[in-house]
């Protein structure tokens, strides 16, 4: 597919840290997290994302937000500074066709960066898809993508055109040999997920629900009705982001039922999503090509996907009606890799 004539790649004006809070350490961080989620006038943080998985809480936030988190044995911090990239077509954020997600950028951004051994950390939201790259890889990112995109760096609200000669730290291509990709095991839980948003001004009216879901969901409810067997097939996953004033929520239908229906909105089709969780062992931050492994076949089949990386594993969300074909596709990919 030829690139759209007017595809712009923006390097956003945020310097991000990727951190993880252990489940039993959450109690040490509820104070700063409540501030970062609900009290926007008390913090200068403009980029905040919190994702709960069965293993831990992944918190991605800018340097202002990171100052709020006190060092602790319960807090792991990935050592790099990460920069968020965002693809914008024809002046509209890539969400103009509401639910194409990473599929749209799989061939133009994700695959070329994987070929150049650049590891990416993905954060899809209701509004758009952020591709996080390490600051030290920026020159490689620009030289790899500048043929395909007009690249802009956002500085204080202005978009400044950027070319590879503008970025110092040596334009060495990562010229390592083609790497043999590890094919990671995948897990496909039974939960159905929704990707939603809300007007940030209505955050106070869902505050108690959000606090309950985020901070107390692991403690048993008084009225536990679900049978234990059902829970084995489902996975704990809840993601909240507040980025440049936009709220995005990813939750399963069980969590969604706890929120007042009139405040959360989803795309007009209101579709449900199924998850593919990638990784048997925690994936780490240096391996490249993990996102491409999933996003490439989805793009070949033109299947929409949201993609959320966390500290331990990656998560792709695909439309529920496509989960069978996605499962078959991934199985086939594994068989081919095993026989080659």
pTM of the entire structure? 0.89
Domain extents for the chain? 1-164+181-218+235-339
The runs of H, that is alpha helices, within the chain are: 30-38, 63-66, 111-115, 138-145, 203-215, 228-232, 253-256, 290-300, 323-339
Count of C-beta atoms within a 10 Å radius of residue 23: 15
Q: Is the pLDDT of residue 308 over 90?
A: yes
**273-278 and 314-319 beta bridge pairing:** antiparallel
* 234-246 pLDDT per residue, tens: 999 999 999 999 9
**pLDDT mean over 161-176:** 63
Q: Is the pLDDT of residue 165 over 90?
A: no
Q: What distance in Å separates the CA atoms of residue 23 and residue 188, rounded to the nearest whole number? A: 22
Residue 85, classified by CB atoms within 10 Å of its CB into exposed (0-12), middle (13-18) or buried (19+), is: buried
Rg (CA), the chain: 20
Q: Is the pLDDT of residue 171 over 70?
A: no
* 70-112 pLDDT per residue, tens: 999 999 999 999 999 999 875 444 443 344 677 778 788 988 9
Q: CATH second-level architecture of 1-164+181-218+235-339?
A: 2-Layer Sandwich (3.30)
- Looking at the chain, the whole-number percentage of residues with pLDDT higher than 90 is 57
């Amino acid at each position: 597919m030829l690139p759209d004539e007017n595809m712009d790649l923006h390097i956003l004006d945020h310097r991000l840290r990727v951190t993880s809070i252990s489940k039993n350490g959450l109690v040490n961080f509820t104070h700063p997290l409540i501030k970062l989620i609900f009290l926007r006038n008390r913090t200068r943080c403009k980029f905040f994302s919190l994702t709960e998985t069965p293993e831990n809480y992944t918190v991605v936030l800018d340097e202002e937000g990171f100052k709020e988190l006190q060092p602790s044995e319960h807090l792991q911090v990935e050592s790099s500074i990460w920069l968020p990239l965002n693809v914008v077509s024809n002046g509209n954020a890539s969400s103009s066709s509401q639910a194409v997600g990473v599929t749209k950028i799989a061939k133009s951004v994700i695959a070329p960066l994987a070929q150049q051994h650049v590891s990416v950390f993905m954060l899809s939201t209701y509004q758009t898809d952020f591709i996080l790259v390490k600051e030290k890889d920026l020159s490689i990112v620009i030289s790899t993508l500048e043929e395909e995109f007009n690249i802009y760096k956002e500085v204080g609200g202005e978009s400044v055109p950027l070319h590879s000669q503008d970025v110092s730290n040596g334009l060495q291509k990562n010229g390592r040999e083609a790497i043999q990709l590890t094919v990671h095991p995948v897990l496909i839980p039974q939960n159905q997920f929704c990707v939603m948003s809300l007007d940030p001004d209505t955050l106070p009216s869902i505050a108690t629900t959000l606090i309950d879901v985020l901070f107390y969901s692991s403690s048993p409810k008084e009225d536990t009705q679900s049978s234990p067997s059902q829970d084995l097939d489902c996975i704990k996953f809840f993601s909240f982001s507040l980025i440049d004033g936009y709220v995005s929520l990813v939750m399963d239908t069980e969590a969604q039922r706890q929120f007042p229906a009139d405040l959360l909105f989803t795309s007009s089709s209101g579709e449900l999503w199924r998850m593919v969780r990638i990784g048997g062992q925690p994936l780490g931050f240096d391996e490249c090509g993990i996102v491409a492994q999933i996003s490439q076949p989805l793009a070949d089949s033109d299947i929409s996907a949201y993609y959320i990386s966390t500290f331990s594993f990656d998560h792709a969300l695909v439309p529920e009606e496509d989960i069978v074909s996605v499962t078959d596709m991934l199985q086939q990919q594994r068989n081919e890799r095993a026989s080659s």
